[in-house]
Amino acid sequence: MRLKIVSLILLAGLAGVTGILLIKHQGAPPPAAAPIAIIETKPAAPQTAPPITNVPPPATAPVAAAPVATNALTPEQRQAAIDAETDRLQQWSMNDDPASLSSILADLTNSEKEVRKAAIEAAEQFGSTNAIPVLKNLAANDEDPEEKAALLEAANFLSLPSIFDVGQPATPAEREAHRQAQMQKHSQNQNSPVAPNN
């Protein structure tokens, strides 16, 4: 029995010492790095090379004219690219994430008119009011009257309240005022005497 008690006390003491060492080790600051000596150096004085004499000029090789790089797409490739981008816009318009909205808004300045038109429609479908300032800004700088009208129409559409917002107070202050008015009306209804029916 004594052996069990003594071994238990020794184990408890060993655990205590180990715990103290661990706590002390964790609380100690990390060892400082050795200081780095910074040596200032002065730039060397420029050395001048002696002039070279009797060196023949380099032989000139005939230079061929560089081919003109054209990024022109065939009409089929162009239409395929437009179709692919409008398909992506359609997909993005069904998502509900900032990356999709950002991609839609980026395509509002695409060089292809068809893609810009699809981007306007996608912005409307996406339904985020965050697109309104971008749409209005682009409309203010657009020279095409049809596109300008479409941009403004989309901005106006997005600024309309949704079906869920109709009849609801818009701002937190309005909601609080509406809640207090409802509470006051409720308390007045409870405190008013009920007229007896004759």
* Number of domains forming the structure of the chain: 1
Within a domain: residue 137? Answer: yes
pLDDT of residue 66: 43
pLDDT of residue 84: 95
Within a domain: residue 93? Answer: yes
Taking only the tens place, the pLDDT of each residue in 123-142 is 999 988 899 999 999 999 99
Question: Mean per-residue pLDDT for 86-93?
Answer: 93
Q: How many CB atoms lie within 10 A of CB 108?
A: 23
Question: Mean per-residue pLDDT for 160-177?
Answer: 66
Does the reported pTM lie above 0.95?
no
Within a domain: residue 60? Answer: no
Q: How many CB atoms lie within 10 A of CB 104?
A: 26
Within a domain: residue 133? Answer: yes
pLDDT of residue 63: 45
- Of the candidates 121, 130, 125, the one whose C-alpha atom is nearest the C-alpha of residue 151 is 121
Within a domain: residue 171? Answer: no
Within a domain: residue 36? Answer: no
- Mean pLDDT, the chain, as a whole number? 75
Distances 76 to 83, 87, 90 between C-alpha atoms, Å: 10, 16, 21
The CA distance from 198 to 195, in Å, is 9
CATH of the domain at 88: 1.25.10
Cβ contact 94:61 at 8 Å: no
Within a domain: residue 127? Answer: yes
Distances 106 to 97, 133, 134 between C-alpha atoms, Å: 15, 13, 10
Domain region containing 87:
77-159
Within a domain: residue 109? Answer: yes
Q: Is the pLDDT of residue 193 over 70?
A: no
The CA distance from 109 to 141, in Å, is 11
- Phi, psi (5° rounding) for residue 37? -85, 130
Cβ contact 135:129 at 8 Å: no
The CA distance from 102 to 115, in Å, is 15
The CA distance from 190 to 177, in Å, is 20
Distances 160 to 102, 128, 153, 155 between C-alpha atoms, Å: 21, 11, 11, 9
Q: Is the pLDDT of residue 89 over 90?
A: yes
